[in-house]
Structure 1
C-alpha cells in the first residue's frame, strides 16, 4: 500500500534537474479495458517484456514555486508541446495525494523517444514511467530513507496513474501487472517483476519492430479501453486472457518456444478482434500489416524458423525470435519485408 507523502516539507533550497531513461515494453498477454469507475485498474492481468534500445529519455527540471499558479512547460524533441500539458496536469492531480510535495514546485519537462510517438509502440508507457522515476528521485532529495524496493514499487504505482502499461516499464525483463491467482504478489495497483523461473531460451530473445505506420493513431489507446466496456465479448475476453496467462506461466518454465510463439500471436489477434467488435468499432491494422503477417506464417512454414509476431494497439509489428536463429531471420526480414515497412528497428527483450 502506497501511503500519502508528508505535507510539511522544506522546499526553498530544493531544486535541480533529474534525467531518467525508461524502456518501451511489448505485452505478451495483453490487457485491454479498464474497470468501470476506477482509475487505471485493468480488466485482466498482463505480462510484458521490456525492450532494449527502445526508450524515452526525460529531463525533469524543478524549482520552488513562488506564484499562485503552478507553471509546467513540456518540450518534446526540443519543441514546446502545449498539447501535452493537460495530460501532465491530470497525472499530477491523480498523484497529488501520494506526492503532495509536487505542489511546491514549478516544472520544465524535456523528453524525447528513440522511436515514433503515439503509433502503437507504447510511447506513453516509456514516457510516463520515465517521469514517475524522475518524481521518485525528487522524493529521495527530502532525505527520508527510501529503499530500492519501495522506490520502484512506488514509481510503478505512480506510472500506472499516468498510463496503465507504464507501470510495467519501470522494470526490466518480464513484468506482470494485474492480479492473477497463479502469480504470487500480482496486483492491480503496480507491476512486479515476473517471480518465477524461466527457461534459458526466453532470456535471449531478439525483437525486430516493423514500422508500418509512424503516424499517431486515429483512435487513442485511452479511447479504445473505454470502448471495450461496450463490447459484447469483453467478459469472454477476460476469461480467455486469464486462461492464457496460466498457459504462459507453463511455457516460460518448460521452454517450448513454438507454443510460446503461437500463444503470443493468438493474443495479438484476439486484442485486435476486440477493437473490431467494440462499440464503436475501429481497426488499427493497415493493409501492409496483414501482408506482413501472412509472410511471417509462410516463411515459418517453409524455413522452420521460430519467428512469431505480436502487435500492440497499432499497425506496427514486433517479431520475436531466439537469438541463435537471428542470422537467417534478419536476412529474410531485409530481403522480403523491408518494402512493406517505413522503418525497421532492431531491439531485444531485456
Structure 2
C-alpha cells in the first residue's frame, strides 16, 4: 500500500537551470460526492467522478534557477496579467507540497494560467487549476529524476493536487476516477485518485454533461467551511456509510450500463449533498429557485420521453445535466427551449467525458 513517505524523494540524479512546461487539466464532476474531510485534505468518505473534456485550466510553468534563500519565489499571471489575489492560495500550496518537492526554493517560477470557461461562471476552477499546477511541478521533478515511472508520476501528481484542492486529485488521469479508500475498489486510496478499475459499459462512452450556469456569483458559504461543518453534523456517520454503499452500487452500474439505476444514484447523491448543507449548524442553502425549476423540468421531461437524462449538483446553484451521447440532439433541444431561460444570461456549457491532464508543450 502506498504511503505518504513514498512521495518524499531521497535525491535527484540530474539538474536543470531553466525551462518551461504547459499542461492542461480538466474540471471533474462527482457522481458520488465527497463532503467532509479530515486533516491534510483526507476525505471523510470516498467519491467517484467523471472527468470533463472542455472545461479545463491551461497552465504554463516557467522555472529559473536562483539562490536558495529559504523563500518561495513566484509570479502569478492569469490570462497573461498579474493576479495578486490568487497568490496566497499558491503560497499555501507550495508550503504544503514542499516536503515532497524539495527543489521548490531553488527556482523562481512564473505561473501563467487560464481557463477555457468564463472565470466568473460559477464553475469551480480550483480542481482543474491545482491539477494543472501539480502535473507541471511533476514534469520538473521528472527532469531531475528521469528514471521516474509513468505510474509514479500520475500518483504523485494526484497526491500533490489533493493538497491544493481535494477534488483536484480526480482531475489528473482517467475518464472515471475514484478517490478515497473503499473496500471494494482495488488500489483506492485516501491519498490520491485512481482510475476506475473495471471496464466501463459502452452506454457511458462520451457521456454528456451540459452545465447550466444558474448563478455566477460568489457562494455565500465556501466549500472549505461546508466541509468543516460535517465534523459535528448529526447525520455525518450515516452519510459517510451511504457514500460507501452508493460507490458499490454505481461501480456495478458503470460496469453493467444500467442507466435507470445510474439516474437514481446520481440524483440521490446530489440532493443528499445539499441536504447535508441544510441540516448543518449553521445551516445554509446554495440552491437557487431556478435550480429547483430546472430539476422539476428535467423530471417532467424524463417522465414524458423516457430519455435517461438526469442532474447532479456541485456545492453551488449550477446544474450539471448528464445524458448518453445518442440522446444529445433531443436533450440539447430541450435545454435550449426549456432550461436556458433559468440560467444567467441564458448561459450554459456543453461538455462531455474527457481523459485527464495533457502535456501541451515542453
Give the TM-score band, short-chain normalised. Answer: over 0.9
In structure 2, the residue matched to 1:188 is 190
CA offsets 1:160-203 (integer angstroms, 9 cap, x no match): 11111100100130000000001001010111000012211012
In structure 1, the residue matched to 2:54 is 53
Contact 2:12–2:144 under 8 Å retained in 1: no
Contact 1:116–1:214 under 8 Å retained in 2: no
Residue 215 of structure 1: how far off its partner (Å): 2.1
In structure 1, the residue matched to 2:337 is 335
Kindly indicate whether residue 75 of structure 2 is the aligned counterpart of residue 73 of structure 1. yes
Change (3 A) 1:126 1:118: farther
Kindly indicate whether residue 35 of structure 2 is the aligned counterpart of residue 32 of structure 1. yes
Following the alignment from structure 1 to structure 2, what is the Cα–Cα distance between the partners of residues 134 and 180?
Answer: 29
Change (3 A) 1:299 1:8: closer
In structure 2, the residue matched to 1:349 is 353
Superposition TM-score, scaled by structure 2 size: 0.92
Following the alignment from structure 1 to structure 2, what is the Cα–Cα distance between the partners of residues 110 and 86?
Answer: 15
CA offsets 1:112-141 (integer angstroms, 9 cap, x no match): 112244765331110000000000000111
CA offsets 1:236-279 (integer angstroms, 9 cap, x no match): 11011111111111211221101101110000000011111122
In structure 2, the residue matched to 1:298 is 300
Following the alignment from structure 1 to structure 2, what is the Cα–Cα distance between the partners of residues 111 and 165?
Answer: 19
In structure 2, the residue matched to 1:23 is 26
Following the alignment from structure 1 to structure 2, what is the Cα–Cα distance between the partners of residues 278 and 120?
Answer: 23
Q: Pairwise CA RMSD of aligned residues? A: 1.6
CA offsets 1:46-86 (integer angstroms, 9 cap, x no match): 00010011100011111112373432221222332212111
Contact 2:22–2:59 under 8 Å retained in 1: yes
Q: Unpaired runs of 5+ in structure 1?
A: none
Change (3 A) 1:172 1:118: farther
Following the alignment from structure 2 to structure 1, what is the Cα–Cα distance between the partners of residues 278 and 81?
Answer: 35
Structure 1 range deviating more: 1-10 or 121-130 = 1-10
Within 5 Å, give how 1:222-241 maps onto structure 2. 222-241=224-243
* Partner-residue secondary structure (3-state), 2:190: coil
In structure 2, the residue matched to 1:283 is 285
Aligned residues: 347
Superposition TM-score, scaled by structure 1 size: 0.95
* Partner-residue secondary structure (3-state), 1:73: strand
Following the alignment from structure 1 to structure 2, what is the Cα–Cα distance between the partners of residues 211 and 194?
Answer: 29
Within 5 Å, give how 1:12-161 maps onto structure 2. 13-35=16-38, 38-66=39-67, 68=69, 69-117=71-119, 121-161=123-163
Following the alignment from structure 2 to structure 1, what is the Cα–Cα distance between the partners of residues 35 and 310?
Answer: 21
Following the alignment from structure 2 to structure 1, what is the Cα–Cα distance between the partners of residues 275 and 120?
Answer: 21
Following the alignment from structure 1 to structure 2, what is the Cα–Cα distance between the partners of residues 153 and 259?
Answer: 31
Following the alignment from structure 2 to structure 1, what is the Cα–Cα distance between the partners of residues 218 and 79?
Answer: 16
Contact 2:14–2:145 under 8 Å retained in 1: no
Structure 1 range deviating more: 130-139 or 226-235 = 226-235
Q: Unpaired runs of 5+ in structure 2?
A: 355-362
Following the alignment from structure 1 to structure 2, what is the Cα–Cα distance between the partners of residues 118 and 311?
Answer: 17
Contact 2:12–2:145 under 8 Å retained in 1: no
